Structure formats: structure tokens, C-alpha cells
Amino acid sequence: MKVIGKITALENRPTTIDEFYFWTDSKRILDPFDVVVVDHLNDSKTYGVIEEINHITDTPGYMGAYISNDFGDVNISAPTRRIGMNYIKARVVGNTKSIYIPVRDGSAVRLASKNEVSDALGLSGVKNALPCGYIQMYSYNDDERIQLPVQFNGKFLIGPEGAHLNISGISGLAAKTSYAMFLLKGMQHKMSQTEADRPFGDESVAFVVINVKGRDLLKLDQPPEKDQFSDADAERYRELGIEPTPFENVKYFFPHEQDDFSNSYASREYVDELIQDKKGHRFKYTLEEDLENIDLLFANIEDSTGTMESACNYIQSRQGVFANAGDWDVLEEKITEMGQTKRGGDKEITVQSWRKFKRIISKSLKNKMFGSRVVPEKGEVRLSEALSEIRSNDMFVVDIAKLDENLQSFVFGDVIRTIYDLKLGQLTDSEDEIPTRIVIFIDELNKYAGSDLPKGSPILRQIIDISERGRSLGIVLFSAEQFKSAIHERVKGNCSTHAYGRTNAIEVSKKDYSYIPSVYKNMMVRLSQGEYIVQNPVFTSPLHIRFPKPIYFQEK
């Protein structure tokens, strides 16, 4: 490839084993993340990724520039043109023979070929390959432009070598959900191939998607409209090794509702149609089966004294007046009774505490998804029972978008507990049919694993446990949020893969971004839709990737 400059090692800015500087023509257009090559000792090649681009002239100071323009006349051209050039800082990402002696002054710097880019960034010969997008380099010149697909090593994305993905970026432009769905689509397509061609051989994967925004994810199995998806978009999918078709094996689960009460942004006609086609269900919670989950209703409540937790334990163990509570209405009556008298109650739980417990739980229990019994003939299910039947390459979508924050936490907590128990073999005897790995996607993670949540939150404890132990159990969390800095340290710290979309300057100034070079942080505030900066243990450097449009129907 073309030589574009030469190494310059200055007294105060020497080349090192980590970085080097080179000059290039001021008209040469380069971008951060572009890869350059320097021929080095023993016929080896050192690869560098561009981090900083600077322009200098022979002007000694700003006053000289001002005077040379007739003391600040903006309408004239300086009689003598200043000598100028660009100098560029590149970070060393590898050497073909593992020689890390600093590159020498005067060495030629050239653009990398497609194979060299792939080798430099760790994209060559990726095992257990799962598509994660594509990269473009030298895009301002058709003769030099490079575009190549990027693939994750699946074992570093969903285990067992590494697990969990976190996606951050501002609402809308960052397209966090779209990127997560692109990754899941690629994974589902790869897993539908013959066993010899699958990324994980005989291992199986299934997906649980939590819909928290409107009708965004309620038509994953339906093709996009023509104005949403072009032939060029379809060709992009094929270049990445993905068939451009919607998701398969999708089932939808909606909170139960009745009469004029609505628990979903989806129309009643659409939900009834899904139920008729055996693609949808309405889920309920019954006291007999789901009493053990009432602590999830208090996940966002500060309980410094532990009284709410004690009250939950008292009820769950069926002590005192709760021994014979048969349904949610009776349970609520008994809680009211405990707030009026101490008869038969736990002496450590005061009347005032029971009254607070009643105020918190009553609003939630009024929701129609808390029922007395489940009627399968009407498409009704218990969510945990339905989730326990998930099989390889299934995609279960749980709709909680219209529920209030407490009920969203309750349902999400129930999903997490169910998957956890399923993988521990507590929900089914046929363990051979349980998918080897189950990927759970949730947007707005800050609601469930935020750094400001009560430390005793049962959902937070569960998410931390999954982030730390899920890799070995086969439970993988794909999460998204606007601000990564707002997420609990132990959750984001255990993610092996991070994707950064467009964000704001305040966010990138937080300590979570302190190890990212400043030029990359500056790029984060101006990324376009469909662009991400991705980090993964297999990549030798953060990658600026692009991904195609979603391949399912999206509500306008």
C-alpha cells in the first residue's frame, strides 16, 4: 500500500514500545482508528492505530500569524505561505514477529492492506465467529478504501471465556436496541446452521428479550416495510454472513388484562391474533405459586432497617394470619389487619411498618396480572412456567413497557430468578433440553442495577450474582442504558464486551472513560446512528464499527 509519511523521533517525543509519531502531507485525509504499517527489524511489520492528528506550521507564535496578515486584515492573503504539515500519533497494537523495540526515525509509514488491517486488529482467523458489524478505513479515496466484516469470538461474548455485553449511548441516536437485536439476529442465524457450522458446535443458545419501550420489539418475526429496509441493507447482511430475514421461533408474553384495563401498548386485537396463532400468551401471577416473589415489589424501596424484608419473610413463611391466605385479595386484607393490631404478628415488625407495607403493595396488587387462577384455554400462563419451556434458538419476548416502574422490576426480577433456577435444574427434570446458554436482553439497566439503588434490592443482588457467576452457569446478560457511569460497578466491571454509542461530553468525562484515549472520547460525542465503538478481549484495539438497519418491523 501507499507510503504516506515517515517516523519522526524527537528528543522530547521519542518513539516507544507503545506509540510513535510520523509526519504526513497536510492534504492527506486520515481518521482515528485507521491502521498504518511500519517496516521494522528482521523483516517484521509494526502496526499502529491512529489516535491523534495535528497540524503545525513554522509560525513561532500566534502574534506572528496575526502580523503576517497585515496586522489582522482578514481580507488579504499573506505574502509568504507558511510551511505546514500534519504530524500523527499512533498507538502500537502489534508486531508480526513480536518485536517491540521502538520503530526507528525515518522509517516509512504506509497504509495497511485489508489483510494487514485484519491481522493488526485481531480479526484474522477468529474462532467461534459471530458477526458484530463492519469497519471502513481510508474512506475518502475510492482506490484506497477498505471495508471488512468484524466478528466476535463467540466464547468471549457469551461464554465460557468471557460473557455479558453492555451498550451505552444517548436515547434515540445511539440505537442501542437496534444493535443488540443485530447481534442476536446474527447469533440466531448462526445457531440455525448445521452443527458442524455452528460457532459452538453441539452447544445451544436461546434468547429472552424484555420489551421496555412502547411497541419496539413486539413484531420481531415480521419483515420491515420497504421504506425501512432496502436491497442495499439486505446485501450488507449477506456480506456479514447473515440471511436477511426476520427472527424465527418468536413467542410473545403480555401481562394479563381484562375489560377496559390495558397492560400493553399492543392492541388487544394484535395480542388476540398472536394467541390464536399460538405465538402469544398473557401471563398471570397467582398467590399459591408466586408468593415467594413479593419481595421483588420492594426492589426500589429503601429499607435501611430491614423491616420490609422482615415483613416479606413473615408472609412468605405463612406465619400467623397469613397461614390460610388463598388469594391476593385475602392477602391484602390480612396485611391491613396487621396494620391495625399486633395480634399474631412478629414483635419486631411494628404496626407502622405494616401500614407502610400495605401502602406499597396495594397499588401493585390492583393490577390485573395478579389473578386467582390461570386459564390455559384462554392463552393464559404463569410466566415462570412458560420460560422453563424455552428451547434451543427460541426467542421469548416479555412485554413490560406499559407497567409502572415497580411492576416492571417485579416481572424482570421474576424472569431473572426463573432463568437462574432453570439453569440450576430446579424447574425441570429434562436438563438435556435446557439451552446451554440463555441470553437475556434488557434496556434501561439503570432501573435494575443502578449505582443509586438500595443495596438490599433483591433484583440488584440477582443481577450482580449473574454478572459474576452467570458465565459458568450459561446465563448471559445483554444490557443497555443511556449512561454507563450510572450502573453498579460490579455489574459493568464483569462485562467482557462494551459498546459505546453517541453520548455527551459530561458522560465521557466520568471515570468509566478514563482509560479511553481522548480522541476516541471526542468521537463518541459525534457518532452517527448505526455506529459504535466496541471493546472485546480478543480485539487488540477499540474498533469503530458500523452495523446495518434492523431486519424486523418497527413501529413508526
Average pLDDT in the chain: 87
- So what's the pLDDT on residue 50? 92
**Banded model confidence at residue 202, pLDDT cuts 50, 70, 90:** confident
CB atoms within 10 A of CB 529: 14
The percent of residues above 70 in pLDDT, for the chain, comes to 95
Please choose, from the candidates 402, 375, 396, the residue with its C-alpha nearest in 3D space to the C-alpha of residue 286.
375
**Percentage of residues in the chain with pLDDT exceeding 90?**
43
**Domain stops at, among 323, 339, 365:** 365
pLDDT at 125 over 60: yes
Question: Is the pLDDT assigned to residue 90 strictly greater than 90?
Answer: yes
HSE-up of residue 61 (Cα within 13 Å, Cβ side) = 2
pLDDT tens for 299-325 read 888 877 778 888 888 888 888 888 888
Whether 110 has a pLDDT exceeding 70, the answer reads yes
For 336, half-sphere exposure in the C-beta direction (CA atoms, 13 angstrom radius) is: 7
Q: 279 falls in which pLDDT band (50, 70, 90)?
A: very high
- Name the more confident of 554 and 174: 554
pLDDT at 237: 92
Quote the domain boundaries for residue 315. 289-365
- What does the DSSP assignment read for 373-416? ---GGGTEEEHHHHHTT--TT-EEEEE-TTS-HHHHHHHHHHHH
Q: What is the mean pLDDT of residues 118-134?
A: 87
One domain, residues 337 and 384: no
Strands 250-255 and 395-399, by their bridges, are parallel
SS (H, E, C) 12-56: CCCCCCCEEEEEECCCCCCCCCCEEEEECHHHCEEEEEEEEEEEE
Dihedral of CA atoms 385, 388, 394, 395 in degrees, nearest 10, equals 60
pLDDT band at 228 (very low <50, low <70, confident <90, very high): confident
Q: Supply the pLDDT for residue 79.
A: 64
State whether 272 and 219 are in the same domain.
yes
> Cα angle at 57 between 54 and 63, to 5 degrees?
115
Instruction: Please classify residue 413 by burial: count the beta carbons closer than 10 Å to its beta carbon, then call 0-12 exposed, 13-18 middle and 19+ buried.
Output: buried
Among 120, 137, 170, where does a domain finish?
120
Last residue of some domain: 338, 365, 392? Answer: 365
> In the prediction, which pLDDT does 334 show?
87
DSSP string, 148-168: EEEEEEHHHHBSSSSB-EEEE
Residue 78: the pLDDT is 65
pLDDT of residue 438: 95
C-alpha 163/C-alpha 362 separation (Å) is 39
* Block residue for cell numbers 453517541: 502
DSSP class per residue in 490-541:
HHHHT-SEEEE-S--HHHHTSGGGTTS-HHHHHHHTTPPTTEEEEE-TT-SS
pTM to 2 decimals?
Answer: 0.88
Angle (deg, nearest 10), helices 351-365 and 328-338: 160
Is 60 exceeded by the pLDDT of residue 35?
yes
Kindly state whether residues 186 and 277 are assigned to the same domain.
yes
- CA dist 373 and 290 (Å) reads 11
Residue 392 lies inside a defined structural domain of this protein: yes
From 237-241, 256-260, 327-331, 338-342, the region with the lowest mean pLDDT:
338-342
Residues 256 and 311 in one domain: no
Residues 219, 266: one domain?
yes
229 and 315 together in one domain: no
For residues 445 and 416, is the Cβ–Cβ distance under 8 A? no
Query: Is 35 a member of any domain?
Result: yes
Encode pLDDT of 436-467 as tens digits.
Answer: 999 999 998 988 888 888 877 888 888 999 99
315 in any annotated domain: yes
Q: How far is CA 269 from CA 166, 182, 224, 279, 368, in A?
A: 35, 28, 20, 14, 18
Q: Specify the higher pLDDT residue, 32 or 76.
A: 32
What cell was used for 434?
435446557
- Are 264 and 407 members of one domain? yes
My answer on whether 420 and 271 are in the same domain is yes
Together in a domain, 247 and 160: yes
What's the whole-number mean pLDDT along residues 182-186? 94
Is 249 within 8 Å of 393 (Cβ atoms)?
A: yes
Most confident of 70-74, 189-193, 423-427, 528-532: 528-532
pLDDT at 173 > cutoff 70: no
- Does any domain span residue 497? yes
pLDDT band at 345 (very low <50, low <70, confident <90, very high): low
Residue 131 domain-assigned? no
- 473 plus 356 within the same structural domain: no
Return the pLDDT at 526.
Answer: 87
Specify whether 319 is located in the same domain as 390: no
Summarize the confidence of residues 152-162 as an average pLDDT.
Answer: 86
351 and 395 co-located in one domain: no
Question: pLDDT confidence of 519, banded at 50, 70, 90?
Answer: confident
Residue 29, domain member (yes or no) = yes
Q: How far apart are CA 371 and CA 255, in angstroms?
A: 11
Mean pLDDT of 136-148: 82
Residue 216, SS3 per DSSP: coil
Judged against a pLDDT cut of 70, whether residue 556 lies above it is answered with no
Residue 21 has pLDDT above 90, yes or no: yes
Given pLDDT bands bounded at 50, 70 and 90, which one contains residue 197?
low
List CB contacts of 469: < 8 A, sequence separation 6 or more.
none
pLDDT of residue 431: 64
Would you give the DSSP letter of residue 276?
Answer: H
Q: What is the pLDDT of residues 234-256, one digit of tens each?
A: 999 999 989 999 999 999 999 99
Res 193: pLDDT: 73
pLDDT band at 341 (very low <50, low <70, confident <90, very high): low
Predicted pLDDT of residue 183: 94
Pairwise CA distance, residues 416 & 155, whole Å = 22
Span 382-402, average pLDDT:
94
Domain count, the chain: 3
Residue 128 lies in a domain: no
pLDDT at 343 over 60: no
Residue 181 sits in a domain whose CATH number is 3.40.50.300
Residue 220 is assigned to a structural domain of this protein? yes
The residue among 73 and 391 whose pLDDT is bigger is 391
First to last CA, the chain: 45
Residue 520 reports pLDDT greater than 90: no
Q: Which H or E run includes 300?
A: none
